[in-house]
Amino acid sequence: MTGKVSQVDLLAKTLDAAGLRHRAISSNIANINTPGYRRVEVAFEDDLAAQLQGGGSADIGQVRPRVVELPGGALRADGNDVSLEQEMTDLSKNTLLYTTAAQLLATRLAIHRSSVS
Protein backbone atom coordinates (compact mmCIF):
# COMPACT_ATOMS: atom_id res chain seq x y z
CA MET A 1 0.00 0.00 0.00
CA THR A 2 1.35 3.40 -0.85
CA GLY A 3 0.02 6.84 -0.10
CA LYS A 4 -2.41 7.29 2.77
CA VAL A 5 -1.87 4.87 5.65
CA SER A 6 -5.04 3.03 6.60
CA GLN A 7 -5.93 3.00 10.30
CA VAL A 8 -7.09 -0.60 9.92
CA ASP A 9 -3.74 -1.66 8.44
CA LEU A 10 -1.87 0.20 11.16
CA LEU A 11 -3.92 -1.42 13.92
CA ALA A 12 -3.53 -4.86 12.34
CA LYS A 13 0.26 -4.42 12.24
CA THR A 14 0.20 -3.31 15.88
CA LEU A 15 -1.73 -6.45 16.83
CA ASP A 16 0.78 -8.61 14.93
CA ALA A 17 3.66 -6.97 16.81
CA ALA A 18 1.92 -7.31 20.18
CA GLY A 19 1.25 -11.01 19.53
CA LEU A 20 4.89 -11.64 18.64
CA ARG A 21 6.02 -9.61 21.66
CA HIS A 22 3.80 -11.74 23.92
CA ARG A 23 5.49 -14.89 22.60
CA ALA A 24 8.94 -13.34 23.12
CA ILE A 25 8.11 -12.37 26.71
CA SER A 26 6.70 -15.84 27.34
CA SER A 27 9.92 -17.35 26.02
CA ASN A 28 11.97 -15.11 28.29
CA ILE A 29 9.94 -16.13 31.34
CA ALA A 30 10.07 -19.82 30.40
CA ASN A 31 13.87 -19.62 30.16
CA ILE A 32 14.46 -17.61 33.32
CA ASN A 33 16.51 -20.45 34.83
CA THR A 34 18.26 -21.58 31.63
CA PRO A 35 22.01 -20.98 31.93
CA GLY A 36 23.37 -18.73 29.18
CA TYR A 37 19.92 -17.68 27.90
CA ARG A 38 19.79 -14.09 26.65
CA ARG A 39 16.46 -12.28 26.69
CA VAL A 40 14.80 -11.28 23.43
CA GLU A 41 12.59 -8.36 22.52
CA VAL A 42 10.48 -7.38 19.52
CA ALA A 43 11.61 -4.52 17.30
CA PHE A 44 8.68 -2.84 15.58
CA GLU A 45 7.77 0.66 16.73
CA ASP A 46 11.02 2.32 15.65
CA ASP A 47 10.84 0.64 12.22
CA LEU A 48 7.22 1.74 11.83
CA ALA A 49 8.00 5.32 12.88
CA ALA A 50 10.89 5.49 10.41
CA GLN A 51 8.62 4.28 7.60
CA LEU A 52 5.87 6.75 8.50
CA GLN A 53 8.31 9.68 8.77
CA GLY A 54 9.96 8.80 5.48
CA GLY A 55 7.79 11.39 3.79
CA GLY A 56 5.74 11.01 0.66
CA SER A 57 4.24 7.56 0.45
CA ALA A 58 4.46 5.30 3.47
CA ASP A 59 4.32 1.56 2.84
CA ILE A 60 3.68 -0.04 6.21
CA GLY A 61 3.23 -3.39 4.49
CA GLN A 62 7.02 -3.63 4.42
CA VAL A 63 7.33 -3.15 8.19
CA ARG A 64 7.49 -6.47 10.01
CA PRO A 65 7.89 -7.03 13.73
CA ARG A 66 11.05 -9.03 14.42
CA VAL A 67 12.58 -10.75 17.41
CA VAL A 68 16.00 -9.42 18.38
CA GLU A 69 18.48 -10.35 21.09
CA LEU A 70 19.71 -7.24 22.78
CA PRO A 71 23.29 -7.11 23.94
CA GLY A 72 24.18 -5.77 27.29
CA GLY A 73 21.77 -6.72 30.15
CA ALA A 74 23.02 -7.47 33.62
CA LEU A 75 24.23 -11.06 33.55
CA ARG A 76 23.82 -13.35 36.49
CA ALA A 77 26.51 -15.87 37.41
CA ASP A 78 24.90 -18.45 35.07
CA GLY A 79 25.06 -16.07 32.06
CA ASN A 80 21.30 -15.46 31.98
CA ASP A 81 20.03 -11.87 31.80
CA VAL A 82 16.26 -12.35 32.30
CA SER A 83 14.63 -10.29 35.07
CA LEU A 84 11.19 -11.51 36.11
CA GLU A 85 10.21 -8.01 37.22
CA GLN A 86 11.13 -6.55 33.82
CA GLU A 87 9.29 -9.30 31.95
CA MET A 88 6.13 -8.84 34.03
CA THR A 89 6.26 -5.08 33.44
CA ASP A 90 6.71 -5.63 29.70
CA LEU A 91 3.86 -8.17 29.71
CA SER A 92 1.50 -5.68 31.41
CA LYS A 93 2.38 -2.94 28.91
CA ASN A 94 1.98 -5.30 25.98
CA THR A 95 -1.38 -6.55 27.25
CA LEU A 96 -2.62 -2.97 27.47
CA LEU A 97 -1.35 -2.21 23.96
CA TYR A 98 -2.99 -5.35 22.51
CA THR A 99 -6.32 -4.72 24.24
CA THR A 100 -6.43 -1.08 23.16
CA ALA A 101 -5.50 -1.87 19.54
CA ALA A 102 -8.08 -4.68 19.39
CA GLN A 103 -10.82 -2.39 20.72
CA LEU A 104 -9.89 0.39 18.30
CA LEU A 105 -9.84 -2.05 15.39
CA ALA A 106 -13.24 -3.46 16.37
CA THR A 107 -14.65 0.07 16.55
CA ARG A 108 -13.13 1.04 13.20
CA LEU A 109 -14.52 -2.10 11.53
CA ALA A 110 -17.96 -1.48 13.04
CA ILE A 111 -17.91 2.02 11.55
CA HIS A 112 -17.01 0.58 8.14
CA ARG A 113 -19.80 -2.01 8.40
CA SER A 114 -22.38 0.60 9.36
CA SER A 115 -21.35 2.85 6.49
CA VAL A 116 -21.81 0.00 4.02
CA SER A 117 -25.27 -0.94 5.35
Long-range contacts of 90-97 (CB under 8 A, 24+ apart): 90/21, 90/25, 90/41, 91/22, 91/25, 91/29, 94/18, 94/21, 94/22, 94/25, 95/22, 97/14, 97/18
Indicate the pTM of the whole model.
Answer: 0.86
Helix (H) / strand (E) element for 4: namely: none
Residue-wise pLDDT tens digits, 95-112: 999 999 999 999 999 998
Residue type, position 82, single letter:
V
Strand blocks (E) in the chain: 40-43, 66-69
Does residue 112 fall inside a structural domain? yes
- Total tally of structural domains belonging to the chain: 1
Does residue 27 fall inside a structural domain? yes
Does residue 1 fall inside a structural domain? no
Q: Which domain holds residue 100?
A: 7-116
Residue-wise pLDDT tens digits, 48-92: 998 888 765 667 888 999 999 988 778 899 999 999 999 999 999
Least confident piece of the model among 8-12, 14-18, 20-24, 55-59: 55-59
